[in-house]
Amino acid sequence: MDDIDLRQLRCLVAIVDEGTFTDAAIALGVSQAAVSRTLASLERALGVRLLRRSSREVTPTATGLRVVVQARRVLADVAALVQEAASGHTRLRIGYAWSAVGRHTVAFQRRWTAAHPGVDLHLVRVNTASAGLGEGTCDLAVVRRPLEDRRFDTAIVGLERRLCAMAADDPLARRRSVRLADLTGRVLLVDRRTGTTTPELWPADARPAIEETHDVDDWLTVIAAGRGIGVTAESTANQYPRPGVVYRPVRDAEPVAVRLAWWRDDPPPALQAVLELLSELYRTA
């Protein structure tokens, strides 16, 4: 393994693609002798013959064909790795667990594209505590609960009201707003990984029963059927209107802080611009 390098794999692929050592040398910008030496070193390292040589052409052996297929995959993977490492200035992935930035989502996308046409914005839904940040699937994350992992930094960009989601035929749906005490004795659906609602919102002697859920669609389905209620950030109502489900403000519940999170030791180049735009959107709404 230590005797094989990318230069050898590129050489092998070039010979097969070009058909001769001479043409491979031209394609690689090296001498024909260098091509011969590089291929010989690869064959020695693998302990097999990869190519058949004649005065007119070079063709892969059966083993050579299999090795070439793997070599192309390795070279493609390395190219993708390099592109991924260099993409911080041309692509921005922002993870979120349930509802991105609610009613500001469309405005955020459009204003970002107008102001930063060279940086592609992708919103990625990942239902984990760090909204994909810890899993490496995003560069920044929108979270609505504090992150305990000290590898991350966060900043609050806005506040959202806390709403109660209930079936449209629930007696409470006739009200314009509800109180936490109105929900005592109900079944409260919570997502312990990413949700903003915990039983601690209620006094210890007046807490609702808890049922766990792990997906917003499942959450809405159970609520629409009248089998439970949910208490969530306002952004959920903006992003997930659902027939049979209504949202009412919980007027005595603390608002939900919307945070932007990033790796403490590796913030993306676009961090400050995202912070400023999101803060402006929440501030002026």
pLDDT tens digit sequence for 114-126: 999 989 999 999 9
What pLDDT band is residue 220 in, cutting at 50, 70 and 90? very high
Tell which wins on pLDDT, 109 or 195.
109
pLDDT band per the 50, 70, 90 thresholds, residue 77: confident
Q: What is the DSSP-derived secondary structure letter of residue 5?
A: -
Residue 255, pLDDT > 70, answer: yes
- And the tokens for 32? 């024909």
* 51-53 vs 58-60, strand pairing mode: antiparallel
What's the pTM value of the predicted model, to 2 decimals?
0.71
Is the confidence at residue 248, as pLDDT, over 60?
Answer: yes
Residue 229: enclosing H or E segment and its boundaries? none
Confidence of residue 85 (pLDDT cuts 50, 70, 90): low
Percent above pLDDT 90 for the chain: 72
End-to-end CA distance of the chain: 59
Q: Please check the confidence at residue 54 and state whether its pLDDT lies above 80.
A: no
Higher pLDDT, 89 or 160: 160
Helix/strand/coil for 124 = strand
The span from the CA of 178 to the CA of 173, in Å, is 9
Q: What is the DSSP letter of 104?
A: G
Whether 87 shows a pLDDT value over 60: the answer reads: no
